[in-house]
Chains A and B, each alone.
Chain A
Amino acid sequence: MMNIPMHRFKYTRLSKDQVTQKLAATAAGPKSASPLSGALAGKSLKIVTDGGPVLNYTFKSANRLTLAEGSASAVEAAYGALELQQMVFFSHMVPGTLKGFNVFVDLKSQLVTVFEVWFAGGKDPSGQELDDREVQRQIWFGYVDVAGKKAPEKRHHFTNRLEGTGMYWKQDTGIETIDLYPSIVSSNFIEVTRHADDLSYCSPSDYILVNDNLVIYDRTECEFSGTMTLYLIDLFTETQVGMRLGFNEKDELEYYMYRGKGKVVGQLTSLAPFDEHGKSVNLTMGGAPAKGAKSAPAGPPPKGQRTVYRPGRTFKNMTPEEVQRAAEKSTVTFTGDPNAPQQQAGMMGGHLLPFSELLIGKKFTLRYDNEGPGWEYEVLDIYNLQWRKEGTGSWQKETYRAFEADEKLVFFGHIVTGSNPVACRRIALDLTNGLTTAILSQMGTEYYGNEVSYRAVFGAAEMAGINAPRYVRHCFTDELVGRGFTRTYSDQMTSMHLYTTAHSSSWTIYTANQTLGMQWCAPAIYVKLRDGVYIFNLVEEACNGAETCIIENEKTRRAIGFGFSGGERGVSFGLIGAISRDLGGYDIQHYLDLKAKGV
């Protein structure tokens, strides 16, 4: 079981030669715990694809075939095949090369979808260097050419029919995963049995509709091991046949086929137009052109193109010293005119709540458990307070902002002036019972200087008019696991946030027509403050290192809080305000408890 999270694991940069050597084992064909199918043995298929190769197959037996690509000479390879409903799925690598084919043949319609796969992809169309271990893919749609028979006009095609669906899967290998499909170009997966931590990850994905109940799905663990998982789902029977190809964290080749049994665990509501069927993926691949770039050439996209978020390569990691120097030059707190905060809050704060006056004039002491901090506070006005360590003499003044996140539940935050590394506090203080939770953050982790580290501490307040409990506390919660919400930060920016596990979350960007597109994920914590009111805290680990610390109020469907981030421009402690919509969710928490891991 892997106990280093994938986003922290240093996968070996396997060279092309190393990949070639390791692929030699594919000469025996894919392994499979379930019996492989002999449905193709003795048959020949000529597969014609649109704009792609013509594949002339002769299946000599249940595990040997010959392939002639177009007019090229035939090569012999080992293969494996599995059947599901009217589909036969077979997979093989091409000996002596770094490529292979995974072919879904619809015996009823004679339609075919081919996943050509290869390693050592070189550079992507934007010039990004790809890891040689990362599986590349090109999808070809086509048909089985039958002599004397007219070619079918229809094809399998991309689809959004799976957008929002989630499934639990158990392979015949015993491996369990939860695969969530909230996007048309990406997916979330949770390794229930392979990983020690319940974290979700995102991978670029494809969704292809065969018919109403059969969908082909793939994902490639880009930025991680580069492994591809490819399977056909039968939604009627909640079963799958699949293939996994790549190199795991031990750099061992994984090339096997499998059967799986699953369950639909829920559905997120799609906000796409009703006449949008997702037959084509209408993303502007690669985003805005780079400086000096010419307009994209007309014609089909480059072979293997897919949209991949690669934060590990694009964000600059800084040392703690570099971050501190940047912070000394610029530490921005609650930007702009305090009398016009909403205007100045920018893209992430277009839906702020008014600043709360509930703390003005109040004096209180916050004590946190387990030898946590104890602070005395005096709140001077709506923007300023002072604090000191309990029992010490000197006060430190800070600019703060406070919101009433729920009835008499105040969420306030301030930076800790003079701290090195730069630190900040976000404090939820329940004025009805004195319970308090503080999220304490500072610049820097053991990995790099501009990644925020944080911890939650629980305690109680001592203040006039409140008798706080001695044992009852706010606590971590899994109540939100599986839930999906939109967050509209401003009219220009709405994202979808999926609370994938009690320790992680993903976020997905809407395309122009509100189809869900690109996504990424990170570890997170959830703290229950009251029924329907939670702290959500997430740091974009191994990414830009930024922290989002908000209170989500399910009743008002408002998210309010603070963002904390650092980089070359300095350190920023800003405001976040969003309105949300509840998209539904997945019933998955019961797959994630300790029993599921055999503990």
Chain B
Amino acid sequence: MTSNHGNLETVGGRQPDGGRRSFIRKAGAALSVVAASAAAGFSRTSAPNEGSDQLDLLKRRVGNLEDAENVRRLHRAYESSLDRGRYEEVVSLFADDAEVVYGGSLFRGSEEVQRLYCNQFAAGRTGKKIEPAPGFEPDPSDLEPVVEVAADRRTASGRFPFSMQVGEPMAGDSSLVALARLHGEGIVRRWERGSCTLSCVKTDAGWKIRRLEYHTTLKADYRPGHVRV
């Protein structure tokens, strides 16, 4: 993603990041900005070649926006499946050679990614998206996702804020725990907040996650009474 980008375009009025990447914020706003600037460009130019270049540029920009939206959709699908405990669906969103960094461990390849979500997340009921812990509400600016699409439109990356309920099965062979687990509990819960970075790759089956990494910035005790369902 870093060495084979070629030319990159700035979309949405933001400055390029070191001249190599374009960041896309909210798709709707970005689209309208693109459309406005394209119209302005046409009204200002007169040479025939310039018109053709502008059209190419516009096509690339629209393509970038579509890709960015698809990456956001991919992330939404990931969060939604995680939230609903559909861990098999989560795994299907990853590329075969994907990597996940979670809890300080690296899970590499389909088998290990499957193990992380279908065994560890499932056992701990991890992944329930919840409101930020009371008293630990994030700065609104931290909540904005950021997506970057490479100029060749084969790869993309994104950073998405997360706030989720993390559960770990209670340890020990106490009958209290055994009974609690029979009705789906026996889990020690906590809140975690931070950002999730994604590296994505466009495949024949659409965009897939190649690398996912959680950066936890906050952990807090769980208080069931404060959860808004």
Q: Mark B153-184, 1 if CB is under 8 A from A, else 0.
A: 00000000000000001111111111111111
Q: Return A484 CB to nearest CB of chain B, in Å.
A: 16
Q: A294-B88, A507-B175, A546-B174 are in contact. Are A512 and B224 (CB under 8 A)?
A: yes
Determine whether the beta carbon of B179 is less than 8 Å from that of A567.
no
Q: A292-B118, A292-B119, A492-B188 are in contact. Are A287 and B183 (CB under 8 A)?
A: yes
Determine whether the beta carbon of B176 is less than 8 Å from that of A295.
no
Q: CB of A495 within 8 A of chain B?
A: yes
Determine whether the beta carbon of A295 is less than 8 Å from that of B85.
yes
Q: What's the interface size class on B, roughly?
A: 20 to 34
Give chain A residues whose Cβ lies under 8 Å from the Cβ of B118: 292-294
Q: Return A315 CB to nearest CB of chain B, in Å.
A: 7
Determine whether the beta carbon of B183 is less than 8 Å from that of A288.
no
Q: CB of A543 within 8 A of chain B?
A: yes
Q: Return B110 CB to nearest CB of chain A, in Å.
A: 14
Q: CB of A212 within 8 A of chain B?
A: no
Determine whether the beta carbon of A309 is less than 8 Å from that of B125.
no
Residue of B nearest to A283 (CB): B183
Checking A289, A492, A565 against B170 with a beta-carbon cut-off of 8 angstroms, the contacting residue is A492
Q: List 17 A-B contacts (CB under 8 A).
A: A185-B183, A283-B182, A287-B184, A287-B186, A288-B123, A288-B125, A288-B187, A291-B119, A295-B88, A347-B170, A347-B174, A347-B177, A348-B174, A492-B170, A507-B179, A509-B185, A565-B173
Interface residues of A (CB under 8 A from B): 185, 283-289, 291-295, 307-309, 311, 314-315, 346-348, 489, 491-493, 495, 507, 509, 511-512, 517-520, 540, 543-544, 546, 565, 567
Give chain B residues whose Cβ lies under 8 Å from the Cβ of A314: 178
Q: CB of B221 within 8 A of chain A?
A: yes
Q: Return B220 CB to nearest CB of chain A, in Å.
A: 13
Q: A288-B181, A512-B224 are in contact. Are A311 and B123 (CB under 8 A)?
A: no
CA distance A509 to B175 in the complex (A): 10
Determine whether the beta carbon of A544 is less than 8 Å from that of B174.
yes
Checking A295, A492, A546 against B87 with a beta-carbon cut-off of 8 angstroms, the contacting residue is A295
Determine whether the beta carbon of B170 is less than 8 Å from that of A311.
no
Number of A-B residue pairs, CB cutoff 8 Å, is 103
Q: CB of B122 within 8 A of chain A?
A: yes
Determine whether the beta carbon of B174 is less than 8 Å from that of A309.
no
Give chain A residues whose Cβ lies under 8 Å from the Cβ of B188: 347, 492
Give chain A residues whose Cβ lies under 8 Å from the Cβ of B20: none
* B window 185-210: CB within 8 A of A: 185-189
Residue of A nearest to B185 (CB): A512
Q: CB of B128 within 8 A of chain A?
A: no
Q: Return A316 CB to nearest CB of chain B, in Å.
A: 9
CA distance A288 to B168 in the complex (A): 11
Determine whether the beta carbon of A309 is less than 8 Å from that of B179.
yes
Main secondary structure of the interface of A (DSSP, over half): loop
Q: Return A282 CB to nearest CB of chain B, in Å.
A: 9
Determine whether the beta carbon of A546 is less than 8 Å from that of B175.
yes
Q: Return A244 CB to nearest CB of chain B, in Å.
A: 26
CA distance A492 to B187 in the complex (A): 8
Give chain A residues whose Cβ lies under 8 Å from the Cβ of B174: 347-348, 544, 546
CA distance A364 to B48 in the complex (A): 107
Determine whether the beta carbon of B184 is less than 8 Å from that of A288.
yes
Q: Return A418 CB to nearest CB of chain B, in Å.
A: 26
Q: CB of B108 within 8 A of chain A?
A: no
Interface residues of B (CB under 8 A from A): 85-88, 118-119, 122-125, 169-189, 221, 224
Determine whether the beta carbon of B125 is less than 8 Å from that of A509.
no
CA distance A289 to B86 in the complex (A): 12
Residue of A nearest to B84 (CB): A295
Determine whether the beta carbon of B175 is less than 8 Å from that of A493.
no
CA distance A347 to B180 in the complex (A): 13
Determine whether the beta carbon of B181 is less than 8 Å from that of A493.
no
Give chain B residues whose Cβ lies under 8 Å from the Cβ of A489: 176
Q: Return A232 CB to nearest CB of chain B, in Å.
A: 27
Q: A295-B85, A347-B170, A347-B172 are in contact. Are A284 and B179 (CB under 8 A)?
A: no
Q: Return B137 CB to nearest CB of chain A, in Å.
A: 22
Determine whether the beta carbon of A311 is less than 8 Å from that of B178.
yes
Give chain B residues whose Cβ lies under 8 Å from the Cβ of A509: 176, 179-180, 183, 185
CA distance A292 to B117 in the complex (A): 10
| Candidate in B124, B169, B176, B189 with the most chain A CB atoms within 10 angstroms | B176
Q: A492-B170, A543-B175 are in contact. Are A517 and B86 (CB under 8 A)?
A: no
| Candidate in A289, A315, A492 with the most chain B CB atoms within 10 angstroms | A492
Checking A283, A307, A493 against B176 with a beta-carbon cut-off of 8 angstroms, the contacting residue is A493
Residue of A nearest to B86 (CB): A295
Give chain A residues whose Cβ lies under 8 Å from the Cβ of B185: 284, 509, 511-512
Give chain B residues whose Cβ lies under 8 Å from the Cβ of A519: 179
Determine whether the beta carbon of B184 is less than 8 Å from that of A567.
no
CA distance A418 to B117 in the complex (A): 45
Determine whether the beta carbon of A518 is less than 8 Å from that of B182.
yes
Checking A284, A293, A311 against B183 with a beta-carbon cut-off of 8 angstroms, the contacting residue is A284
Residue of A nearest to B188 (CB): A492
Checking B86, B182, B221, B224 against A309 with a beta-carbon cut-off of 8 angstroms, the contacting residue is B182
Residue of A nearest to B189 (CB): A492
Q: Return A512 CB to nearest CB of chain B, in Å.
A: 6
Q: A287-B186, A295-B88 are in contact. Are A518 and B123 (CB under 8 A)?
A: no
Give chain B residues whose Cβ lies under 8 Å from the Cβ of A492: 170, 188-189
CA distance A519 to B183 in the complex (A): 11
Q: Return A271 CB to nearest CB of chain B, in Å.
A: 13
Checking B86, B122, B176 against A288 with a beta-carbon cut-off of 8 angstroms, the contacting residue is B122
Determine whether the beta carbon of B182 is less than 8 Å from that of A307.
yes
Determine whether the beta carbon of A540 is less than 8 Å from that of B175.
yes
Q: Return A525 CB to nearest CB of chain B, in Å.
A: 18
| Candidate in A291, A493, A509 with the most chain B CB atoms within 10 angstroms | A509
Q: Return B122 CB to nearest CB of chain A, in Å.
A: 5
Give chain B residues whose Cβ lies under 8 Å from the Cβ of A283: 182-184
Residue of B nearest to A284 (CB): B184
Give chain B residues whose Cβ lies under 8 Å from the Cβ of A291: 119, 123
Residue of A nearest to B169 (CB): A288
Give chain A residues whose Cβ lies under 8 Å from the Cβ of B125: 288
Checking B85, B171, B179, B221 against A518 with a beta-carbon cut-off of 8 angstroms, the contacting residue is B179
Q: Return A420 CB to nearest CB of chain B, in Å.
A: 23
Q: Return B226 CB to nearest CB of chain A, in Å.
A: 13
Residue of A nearest to B183 (CB): A283
CA distance A511 to B118 in the complex (A): 24
Give chain B residues whose Cβ lies under 8 Å from the Cβ of A543: 175
Determine whether the beta carbon of B176 is less than 8 Å from that of A495.
yes
Give chain A residues whose Cβ lies under 8 Å from the Cβ of B184: 283-285, 287-288
Checking A289, A311, A565 against B122 with a beta-carbon cut-off of 8 angstroms, the contacting residue is A289
Q: Return B30 CB to nearest CB of chain A, in Å.
A: 36
